[in-house]
Structure 1
Amino acid sequence: MTSDPQPASGNSSALSDEQLQDLVASSDTGARNPAGTAGLAIAGVALLWSLFQLYIASPLPFMLSRLTGLALVFNDTQTRSIHLAFGVFLAFMAFPAFARSPRDRIPLLDWVLGLLAAFCALYIFIFYRDLAQRPGLPITQDLVASGIGMVLLLEATRRALGPPLVVVALVFLAYVFFGSSTIVPDIIRWGGASFSRAMDQMWLSTGGVFGVALGVSTAFVFLFVLFGSMLDRAGAGNFFIKLAFALLGHLKGGPAKAAVLASMMTGLISGSSIANVVTTGTFTIPLMKRVGFSAEKAGSVEVASSVNGQIMPPVMGAAAFLMVEYVGISYLQVIKHAFLPAVISYIALLYLVHLEAVRNDMPSLPKRVQHPARIALLRSGLVTASIIILAGAIYYAINFIKWLLPAISAPVLLLALLGVYVVLIWYAARQPDLELDDPNAPVLELPIATEVIKTGLHYLLPLFVLVWFLMIERRSPGLSAFYAVVLLIVIMLTQKPLKAMFRGLQREETRAAFREGFEDLIAGMISGARNMIGIACATAAAGIIVGTVTLTGIGQVMAEFVEFLSGGNIFLILVFTAVISLVLGMGLPTTANYIVVSSLMAPVIVELGAANGVIIPLIAAHMFVFYFGIMADVTPPVGLASFAAAAVSGGDPIKTGFTAFFYSLRTVLLPFIFVFNTDLLLIGVGLVGAIWITIKATFAMLIFAAATQGFFMARSRLWESAALLLVTFMLLRPGFFLDLVQAPYDQVEPVRVFEVMENQPDGAEVRLVISGPDFDNPDQLVERTMAFALGPVGESGEARFERAMGMTVMMQDDVAVLEEPLDMNSLAGRTLSDLDFYDPDRPVQITAIEVAAERLPREVFYIPAFLIFGLVVFTQRRRGGTVFGNPKTV
């Protein structure tokens, strides 16, 4: 490489800033931005939408209802109806029908369609009481509104998100109406539904369009998207990028490392991988090219880090909030399970970028103050320790105030928060405001981290409030986001005038700063609402798929079909699920893809795992399909994030996509690991165990990055890369090798079923080998190896069995006979649904009980893993290998 490559601007295939913003707008906020009355109408409705969402999230409706005696509190169904009305109306206003449609004005037809779509969405709000009086008995007026609403929703979805989701929804609707046709294969054929029955399910109840997904979009997602948009508008996005470059830009391949860190921090507040790519990529990609990355590799690093922003809590591209409803666990638990895989994935990407820089001996960017490595490490340690100590001090100080002044603790803490904010603004006013540097400038001097931090500490206060209410106060995500947004409103209105005051500027300049802050606030609210258009349409349209699954029972058919294809092999089941997620995700946004695939495949993974002797927690199955859903933004030929990055870098989009997928292999590996090793999701793990798992998993992912890069301390030989891959697997899945040496289960006679159940420890895993006649082919015996976890100790063996399995067992002549499950929709009911429990001559019985065997700890295989790792280190050091190189400066 040369130390002075041409800047990105010299590449004619790279898009201009205006074109890049248009790219983001066409995919996220709508490409149409007319002037005059039409533009004011779009902005006004978007602003009204944001204000409505803040209203329903706040305590204000309850206060006003008590004061006025009016019914100003809306229930979930009503708020979903209003939410979708805003979404579909803005979809017709902001998104042109076709590429050749006008963007500087809104055609009359779009006004008509937008208003009609909004009315159809509001139908269940307007006629809520009438519909409640005739459930399941729609009249002609209901059906007309539902039919028109469905058509307009699909058209709004096509405009906002493209045709793929619409095509998928139409296929499922066709299955609802024509599922009884002889054209449909026997295995998935069903009785079909009338138009009345289908519309009642899809539009007039909460089983379809207005179901859980749209409810999550209404209650949680909007506020988090609004929070991210406002925080970025306030200046936090620029602050994060500057901070990332100040911390990492001076290292080898520094711009790439800074891109990873900046995208991770931006991912905390953004749910859009495309917006993340363009926001950070316009600055990071040219700088990566400057230090030696090719256009495709620079774009790929940005894609890999930006897409991973969607697996980073707390937002996770809206999936975190959907998991709360679908899995039935708290938001805090979702964050707990998602945190470790996301963090180690980013650490591994940072290391992968480091290896790329070392292998190609890339230079670093100049820094005004360059400390020796030991001093820099010591300073980093002191800063980290100070942050931990400060966090602990704040936690105990707040709890002390709540204990000392319980009656007035809320206003006292609020005043303290505002006081801290004013002090931080005074501190920031002593520094010049951050400005975006030109990445194509001949020489870029990196900022000093301490100077950058001083300018933006107040941006951390809304994040602190959000985390505090979520993690400590255990408030709902919606209410927590509301409080954070309220603080952000205060910051946006006051930060600029307060800085002007502290800098001693004239009163006119202070008033101008206040007006500028007010304009930023309005723009942030409008931008947040426009960012929600696609998500609102996606969650509503995905409700059609969810409604179809509920109405037709195709989920059970899918389980049988996948089991038939895989032959009951759980690994093949996961591979098929991953492929389905990738294929569907190529045309669907992450949120819609997650809803569709999780509705179809997540229960299948759990059910078939249990039916084949493997307990897979439901959260693990949902995380699995989510991880592969986001990979669709990377993979060609549709990967939108890769195309956006190529538009910035001027590189080939297909090559960028393939390279980005290669860089994202760790994101592909992790789901397969945490399905079988749920420790990575911190399921049933204490604090000490979590620390150990974090260290071990991070080390394993670093080794995996080195193996896939073909470079560790030196260029790896083929056997060294293979050895590093083996070490990775041994560290992440040591139980696999132990199973080859010692059987994981001991078999016990069925007659001892109650004794075994009573003596097993709390949460013990037990497997039953169950045999019985096939329901459709009575002459054929079916055998299942079903796994389940026992509940707490203290009950009789019979009670523990019934509680865990949802079915009873009776002893008949030393035969453990199973009765039909009490709930056929339970895991046992679905798993054993193909068995005939009514054959008097051949009952369904337990033929064997398998309990965990006493054997060596699985960690024993860490010993050969570290020996193999040591051998690789030894051989590479003999060749003069080292992780660190002599830094070169641009």
Structure 2
Amino acid sequence: MLDGGGPATRPVTVRDPAPEPAYDDEERPSRELTGGTARVVGGVALAVSVLALWQVFRPLPQGSQFYLIVFLAGALPLVFVAYRSGARLAVLGGGDRPAITDWLLAAIAAVVCLYPVLPFRGGYDGFLNRQGLLDPVDVLLGAILLLLVLEAARRTTGWALPVVCLIFLAYGYYGGLLPQDWSVAHAGLDFSQIVDALYNSGSGFYGTPLDVAATYIVLFTLYGAVLDLSGAGRFFVDLSVAAFRRSRSAAGRTAVSAGFLLGTVSGSGTATAVSVGAVTWPILRRAGYPAERAGGMLAAAGVGAILSPPTLGAAAFIVAEYLEVSYLTVLGWATIPTILYYLGILLAVEIDARRLGTRPVEVAADSPWRLLARFGYHFSSLILIVVLLAAGVTATRAVVFATLAAFALAFLDRRTRPGVRDVAAALVAGTRGVLPVAAVCAAAGVITATTTKTGLGTQLASLLIQGAQALTDHPGAVLALTVLAAAIALSLLGLAVPVTASFIIGWVIVGPALLQLGVPGPAAAMFVFYYSVLSEVTPPTALAAVGAASITGGRIVPTMWQALRYALPAFLAPIAFVLTPAGSYLLGRGPALDVLWATAAAMAGVAALAVATGGWVPGVGPAGAPARACATVGGLLLLYLNPVGILAGLALTVAAVAITAVSPGAAVVPGAAPGGPPAGAESTVGTSDGPSERGGEA
């Protein structure tokens, strides 16, 4: 870009510290396929994408479960070819070359998935008629599919989710052996009953989780791929760079705003953190940010992708399905929490800019107004989604129309005009992006089916409430203890499994308890959703932080703790959803005036908590321990959304400011980051002239 007609500067190009394996969507390295293998995978992936698009306008006449069977028959084999097994036998082919066993598993997966719809033994209708009365062949093939689904989940997300599934299966099979006076005991299920629930019912492999993946998520990943093809991703980053150029905190603001804009179409915290970090890390480094703190900021900003309308993350679609509401309704619920989340991060950025003594970084770039004039059309497809949803168009059709709009807009810039190969590549990339989600959702069907057959959800809810009632009989205290236990359980659960699976398991275990205590369904669901997302920035996993650290070269564990510090104030806000009836106002549910005062109180609470975690009062100075303690308690009281609590919280927050003004804490101003210019010097960083051409470096 050019700045005020001045000389052009060399664009920033960033190379990773070391070659990184490819990532598909959310969690795990995938193969970089070439040659004939790439063509085969591309052909199947293209067919899956066309099927998903076709289903929107011309649904298969046999019904939705028939479509899910065919979708899984296309997606599951791709997982075995596109993802490494971890067992690298050189004689069979390793690394990026699929082994013979991978091809064999892919072929078996296709057969066992398609078996219910093949034209023999009565075909699809005959298979459905055998529900509850599966014959030995059905049981055998269902058991094989179970093993394949667990292996696909292991390849894409690691061992944790398959182990959790096995625990639920063991509970279903051996639960009848538990003492019958135990609250979690049940009559017991034999193996054929378990397979029947998984293979031939609407609550197993082909239940709500896979339905969401095959109906909604695949379309949004296709939309994201086409939007990236049009150059929108680079425009969002360039706009953020141009918008904040001169202030001390400009570098941090740039990273956060870029994470928000890119995250609105990404829906993946890790991918957003890596994409934004590749462009903004040079700016952060020159501003004086240590690698770990910059990585934490990038991770926290990236995780906002899972929380930000209009795409949100995969779990948001499941929220809509479970509560039987429109996706637009869920977007409305997420709006104020998204504002609170990014408010907390931006305040942390402002605090760090002063606490760390960061420097302004002069960026040679067009003005944001010129960028908007030239490339602002990239916002059109995002706006179109919301407009169509508001007009009553289904979410699936809205995103397809937005995809077509993004494709058409790509022709406005000669550098991004797509050819046939480009469009095919985008569709293939979109399908590959949904593979981990499809594997996770199919595996999550094991959990939902077992819970449904045994009644485990209701039993665990009663157990959780009884535990709280054993400590107190006050209704408010029982709710508070239950919410605290739920928050801890969800945080620990998220350490082991991906966000989507974490939400499904959490909703099965925690959701019924919150509902029994009178918490409204939307508040309970959004509480579970937000604490499921927390795992992306929580040690020792924190996948978004791992991705960001690979860009900054920082130490992984300190980067995780920094990410948690940035995100923590806003992640305490969801507790307000469920503790009081006023919490629903933060979801936009209630009279406008009530929504406004609740939002203002929550924003003040997030600001107070940002002061407590950052150790600095903007405009005043460093905060000592007494001031930080006042800010912590004040922030929590403000988030309680009780009139008395709000007044007390405001008083404590004012006290924190006064204490800081009278007796400031010790300021910490570390030296310049390695490789950066001396403290006090301005750095000049160039950026590209508008959205970069496809194939160029980020």
**Where on the TM-score scale, by shorter chain, does this alignment land: which range?**
0.7 to 0.9
Question: What is the CA distance between 1:704 and its match in structure 2?
Answer: 2.0
Contact 1:26 1:95 in 2 (8 A): no
Deviation at 1:158, TM superposition (A): 1.2
What is the deviation of 1:229? Answer: 2.0
Deviations along 1:801-854, whole A, 9 cap, x unmatched?
xxxxxxxxxxxxxxxxxxxxxxxxxxxxxxxxxxxxxxxxxxxxxxxxxxxxxx
- Report the counterpart of residue 100 of structure 1 in structure 2: 88
Letter in 2 for 1:725: T
**CA distance in structure 2 between the aligned counterparts of 1:621 and 1:880, rounded to whole angstroms:** 40
Q: 2: distance between equivalents of 1:90 and 1:167?
A: 22
Aligned to 1:495: 412
Q: Which residue of 1 aligns with 2:689?
A: none
- SS where residue 363 of structure 1 aligns? coil
TM superposition shift of 1:139: 1.8
Distance in 2 of aligned mates of 1:524 and 1:870: 53
The structure having more radius of gyration, on CA atoms, is 1
Name the CA shift for 1:518/1:582 in 2 (closer, same or farther; >3 Å).
same
1:708, 1:681 → 2: CA distance?
Answer: 23
Which residue number in structure 2 is paired with residue 174 of structure 1? 170
Q: Deviations over 1:399-454 (max 9, x none)?
A: xxxxxxxxxxxxxxxxxxxxxxxxxxxxxxxxxxxxxxxxxxxxx52442122223
Alignment partners' CA distance in 2, 1:263 and 1:349 = 11
Partner of 2:369: 450
- Deviation at 1:185? 9.5
Q: Distance in 2 between matches of 1:880 and 1:18?
A: 43
Pairs within 5 Å for 1:694-705: 694-705=599-610
**After superposition, what is the alpha-carbon deviation per residue over 1:161-185, rounded to whole angstroms, capped at 9, x for unaligned?**
2111111111111111122235999
Cross-structure match for 2:53: 54
1:296, CA displacement in angstroms? 0.8
Match of 1:76 in 2: 64
| Structure 2 residue 436 is the aligned partner of structure 1 residue 534 | yes
Counterpart for residue 294 of structure 2: 298
CA distance in 2, matches of 1:870, 1:30: 49
Correspondence 1:158-237 to 2 at 5 A: 158-181=154-177, 186-237=182-233
* Residue pair 1:365, 1:445 contacting (<8 A) in 2 also: no
Give the match for residue 707 of structure 1.
612
Structure 1 residues 170 and 243 mapped into 2: Cα distance closer, same or farther (>3 Å)? same
CA contact (8 A) 2:310 2:382 kept: no
Moved more, 578-587 or 722-731: 722-731
- Give the 3 Å change call, closer, same or farther, for CA 670–460 of structure 1 in structure 2: same
- Match of 2:687? none
CA contact under 8 A between 2:236 and 2:258: conserved in structure 1? yes
Shift in Å, 1:688: 3.7
Return the match for 2:549 from 646, 650, 653. 646
Aligned partners of 1:482, 1:319: CA distance in 2, in Å?
20
Once the two structures are TM-superposed, the CA of residue 17 in structure 1 deviates from its matched residue by 6.7
Cα distance change, pair 646–489 in 1 and its aligned pair in 2 (3 A): same
Cα distance 1:880–1:624, how it changes in 2: closer, same or farther (>3 A)?
A: closer
Aligned residue for 2:463, secondary structure, equals helix
* CA deviation map 1:700-730 (0-9, x unaligned): 3222211221110211122222222333234
Correspondence 1:120 to 2:112 = yes
Please say which of residues 589-598 and 330-339 is displaced more in the overlay. Answer: 330-339
- Counterpart CA distance in 2 for 1:579 and 1:15 is 38
Q: Could you tell me which residue of structure 1 aligns to residue 474 of structure 2? A: none
Change (3 A) 1:730 1:519: same
Residue 388 of structure 2 is aligned to residue 469 of structure 1: yes
| Match status 1:583 vs 2:486 | no
Aligned to 1:523: 425
CA–CA distance in 1 between the matches of 2:453 and 2:509?
A: 13
CA contact (8 A) 1:203 1:209 kept: yes
C-alpha separation between the residues in 2 aligned to 1:474 and 1:549?
A: 34
Task: Please report how far the alpha carbon of residue 866 of structure 1 lies from its aligned counterpart in structure 2 after TM superposition.
Answer: 4.3
**Which residue identity is paired with 1:293?**
Y
The answer to which of 159-168 and 564-573 deviates more is: 564-573
2:591 is aligned to 686
**Aligned-partner Cα distance in 1 for 2:18–2:67:** 36
Let me know the Cα RMSD of the aligned residues.
Answer: 2.7
- Distance in structure 2 (CA, Å) of the matches to 1:147 and 1:458: 50
The worse-fitting range, judged by mean Cα deviation, of 618-627 and 684-693 is 684-693
Q: 1:887 to 1:581 in 2, by over 3 A?
A: same
- Corresponding residue SS for 1:24: strand
TM, length-normalised to structure 2? 0.86
User: 2:285: which partner in 1?
Assistant: 289
SS of aligned partner of 1:170: helix
Higher relative contact order (CA 8 A, sep 6+): 2
- State which of 634, 657, 673 in structure 2 corresponds to 1:727: 634
Give the CA deviation at 1:877.
4.7
CA contact (8 A) 2:612 2:629 kept: yes
Distance 1:184 1:113, change over 3 A: farther
1:631 to 1:695, Cα distance in 2 relative to 1, 3 A:
same
Cα deviation for residue 356 of structure 1 reads 0.7
Instruction: Note if contact 2:622-2:664 (Cα within 8 Å) is conserved in structure 1.
Output: no
In 1, the alpha carbon distance for the partners of 2:117 and 2:245 equals 53
Cα deviation for residue 693 of structure 1 reads: 3.3
CA displacement, residues 763-796 of structure 1 (integer Å, 9 cap, x when unaligned):
xxxxxxxxxxxxxxxxxxxxxxxxxxxxxxxxxx
Determine helix, strand or coil for the equivalent of 1:691.
helix
Distance 1:639 1:863 in 2: 36
Residue 597 (str. 1) matches residue 506 (str. 2): yes
Question: Structure 1 residues 117 and 252 mapped into 2: Cα distance closer, same or farther (>3 Å)?
Answer: same
Count, aligned residues: 642
- The SS at the match of 1:321 is helix
On the 8 A contact 1:179/1:192 being kept in 2, the answer is yes
Contact persistence 1:253–1:288 (CA under 8 A): no
Q: Describe how 1:727-766 pairs up with structure 2 within 5 A.
A: 727-735=634-642
In 2: Cα distance, 1:477 partner to 1:634 partner: 29
- Evaluate the alpha carbon distance shift between residue 718 and residue 114 of structure 1 in structure 2; reply closer, same or farther with a 3 A threshold: same
Shift of 1:575: 2.2
Number of the residue aligned with 1:251: 247
Distance 1:672 1:283, change over 3 A: same
Q: Distance in 2 between matches of 1:644 and 1:104?
A: 20
Structure 2: 5+ residue stretches without partners: 1-11, 471-477, 670-678, 684-698
How far 1:78 moved relative to its partner? 1.1
Residue 867 of structure 1 and its aligned partner are, at CA, apart by: 4.7
List runs of 5+ in structure 1 lacking aligned partners. Answer: 1-8, 63-71, 367-443, 501-512, 610-614, 736-857
Are the aligned partners of 1:627 and 1:667 in contact in 2 as well (CA < 8 Å)?
Answer: no
1:564-575 equivalences under 5 Å are 564-567=466-469, 569-575=478-484
Establish whether residue 138 from structure 1 lines up as the match of residue 112 from structure 2.
no
Instruction: Give 1:547's aligned residue.
Output: 449
Q: Deviations over 1:362-409 (max 9, x none)?
A: 11111xxxxxxxxxxxxxxxxxxxxxxxxxxxxxxxxxxxxxxxxxxx
Paired letter, 1:690: V
The one-letter code of the counterpart of 1:710 is: G
CA–CA separation in structure 1 for the residues paired with 2:377 and 2:25: 32
Q: Is 2:52 the counterpart of 1:39?
A: no
Shift of 1:878: 5.7
Aligned pairs (5 A) from 1:781-792 = none
SS state at 1:567 partner: helix
SS at the partner of 2:133? coil
Mapped pair 1:618 → 2:521? yes
State how far apart, in whole Å, the 1-side matches of 2:44 and 2:494 are.
30
SS in 2 for 1:19: coil
Q: Is the 8 A contact 1:88 1:156 kept in 2?
A: yes
Task: Summarize the alignment of residues 337-348 of structure 1 with structure 2, pairs less than 5 Å apart.
Answer: 337-348=333-344
- Structure 1 residues 530-539 or 267-276, which shifts more? 267-276
1:491-511: per-residue Cα shift (whole Å, max 9, x none)? 34x334xx48xxxxxxxxxxx
1:143 to 1:87, Cα distance in 2 relative to 1, 3 A: same
Q: Is the Cα contact below 8 Å between 2:27 and 2:543 reproduced in 1?
A: no
Give the letter for the 2:557 counterpart.
I
Return the TM-score normalized by structure 1. Answer: 0.68
Output the CA distance in 2 between the equivalents of 1:667 and 1:659. 14
Of 350, 355, 358, 1:362 maps to 358
Paired letter, 2:148: L
* Counterparts in 2 of 1:674 and 1:249: CA distance versus 1, 3 Å: farther
In the alignment, is the contact (CA less than 8 A) between 2:348 and 2:614 conserved in 1?
Answer: yes
C-alpha displacement of 1:683 = 5.2
Q: Give the residue type in structure 2 aligned to 1:696.
A: A
Secondary structure of 1:116's match? helix
